[in-house]
């Protein structure tokens, strides 16, 4: 032990590699939470699983029109989405995590069989791409920002005209 630097124990909480491994495990756990949310809550419709995966005071940073905040608001919007697209299925195309945030590039598809955003059922199948950035606290989703190709979805539903192809 060096008497010149008595604070060495402060810096012995792990090697750089051990701290990097801990961060990696944390980001892996965060990714697992998001994957569980997508599979269990969205794809399987097990809304009660949101209680295990989402904080009660969850914040949707870019809410859908009329979406309430909180975990219950999130469950309501997913129930509406599943009611409109009962065969909805999300696929993760890419997932990146750093610190408390997980960024997911996804595509979902489903058949429009019920009212959604004021649009009655069209029985048309859509595929919608998007990106969502979720922030987690204590192993649960704390807030989210989702951007989806709503214009493309509206065109696929026949609500908006598709521009003619350029030649």
The answer to whether the predicted template modeling score (pTM) of the entire model surpasses 0.95 is no
pLDDT tens-digit series, residues 9-39: 444 455 555 444 444 558 899 999 999 999 9
Q: What is the DSSP letter of 119?
A: B
Which stretches of the chain are assigned E, i.e. beta strand?
54-60, 89-98, 101-111, 125-137, 140-148
Summarize the chain as % helix, strand, coil (round to 5).
35, 30, 30
Distance CA 56, CA 72 (A): 7
Over the chain (167 residues), what is each successive 10-residue block's mean pLDDT?
A: 46 50 70 97 97 96 88 95 96 96 98 94 97 96 96 94 77
């Amino acid at each position: 032990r060096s008497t010149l630097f008595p604070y060495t124990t402060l810096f012995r909480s792990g090697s750089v590699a051990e701290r990097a491994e801990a961060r990696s495990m944390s980001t892996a756990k965060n990714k697992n939470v998001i994957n569980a949310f997508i599979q269990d809550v969205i794809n399987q419709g097990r809304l009660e699983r949101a209680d295990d995966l989402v904080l009660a005071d969850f914040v949707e940073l870019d809410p859908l029109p009329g979406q309430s905040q909180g975990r219950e608001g999130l469950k309501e919007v997913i129930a509406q989405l599943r009611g409109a697209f009962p065969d909805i299925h999300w696929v993760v195309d890419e997932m990146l995590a750093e610190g408390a945030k997980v960024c997911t590039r996804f595509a979902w598809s489903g058949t429009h069989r019920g009212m959604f955003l004021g649009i009655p059922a069209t029985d048309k199948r859509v595929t919608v791409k998007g990106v969502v950035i979720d922030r987690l606290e204590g192993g649960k989703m704390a807030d989210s920002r989702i951007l989806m190709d709503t214009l493309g979805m509206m065109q696929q539903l026949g609500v908006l005209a598709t521009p003619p192809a350029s030649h």
